[in-house]
Amino acid sequence: MDLTRIPGIAGSREGTKGEEAMELFEVMTTAGAIREYLDIPDSDNVLYDILDKARCAPSGGNRQPWRVLIVKDQDLRRKVRDLYSEGWKEYMAHVKKGLVPFAPAEDGTWNGPAVDLTEAAAMTTSNQYASSLHESPILLVLLARLTDLSCLDNGLNRQSIVGGGSVYPFGHNILLAARSLGLGGVMTTVICRREPEMKTLFRIPREFAVAGLITLGKPKKLFSRLTRRPVEEFAFVDVFDGVPLTH
């Protein structure tokens, strides 16, 4: 299917001549978190094309441990919204105290929530993305088969992170593929705070974990160039406190 012919879907680089494919650098530097959407015509075909490109992401042993649930049922969507909102309150309860939500301590281990989660549940603050999550043109649940993850940092007496390297590149590929078509989206892990409820809701087998949610749509606002720390602030030669890499 020629997605460049769908109204509102950009299959070519905007502002350039002809039908040239959007340059990779343009995609990478403008694929920011988009949380407000317009609808997408023919969304099933668009999503198929996005996933067809994203599936080339790397994974440990090429086991491709991901599974994607496309949530269309409106009742399911509202239930996901409600579960997400609960997790978001727990997240924000940490932020309001100047804490990184659910981050390990300095010793690399996690000893439980740094805030009272009961109080967090009673918060009345609202979030536009959370409250309208069910209205996203495309709503995906990203899963990972735990038995397919090579977690080579297990047993190091710190928070394990390596396993995510086999599923999140796929999630990011979804966002990059969507951006190349003129769409926007965001991947969020807030829903993982409610994994037991999600597994019951979607009949998810025990060996799978909820890795996050991805929402996609045509952005309400124009894309802009992303702002990030310069290379000199995070790249150093030979040792941790070595000479910064410059050009």
Q: How far apart are CA 124 and CA 155, in angstroms?
A: 40
Average per-residue pLDDT for the chain: 91
- For the question of whether the overall pTM of this predicted structure is more than 0.85, the answer is yes
In a domain, 104, yes or no: yes
Task: Spell out a b/e string for 126-135, using b for 16 or more CB atoms within 10 Å of the CB, else e.
Answer: ebebbeebbe
In a domain, 4, yes or no: no
Chain segment 26-83, per-residue pLDDT in tens: 999 999 999 999 999 899 999 999 999 999 999 999 999 999 999 999 999 999 999 9
In a domain, 149, yes or no: yes
Identify the band that residue 21 occupies on the pLDDT scale cut at 50, 70 and 90. Answer: low
Chain segment 128-175, per-residue pLDDT in tens: 999 999 999 999 999 999 999 999 999 999 999 999 999 999 999 999
Percent of the chain with pLDDT over 90: 82
In a domain, 238, yes or no: no
In a domain, 246, yes or no: no
Whether the Cβ atoms of residue 163 and residue 151 lie closer than 8 Å to each other: yes
Determine the pLDDT at residue 46.
96
Domain carrying residue 98: 21-233
10, pLDDT greater than 70 = no
In a domain, 216, yes or no: yes
In a domain, 40, yes or no: yes
Q: How far apart are CA 81 and CA 202, in angstroms?
A: 14
Q: Count up the domains in the chain and report the number.
A: 1
User: For position 63, which CATH number holds?
Assistant: 3.40.109.10
Q: How far apart are CA 95 and CA 113, in angstroms?
A: 12
Determine the pLDDT at residue 19.
40
Determine the pLDDT at residue 1.
46
In a domain, 3, yes or no: no
Q: Mean per-residue pLDDT for 214-238?
A: 94
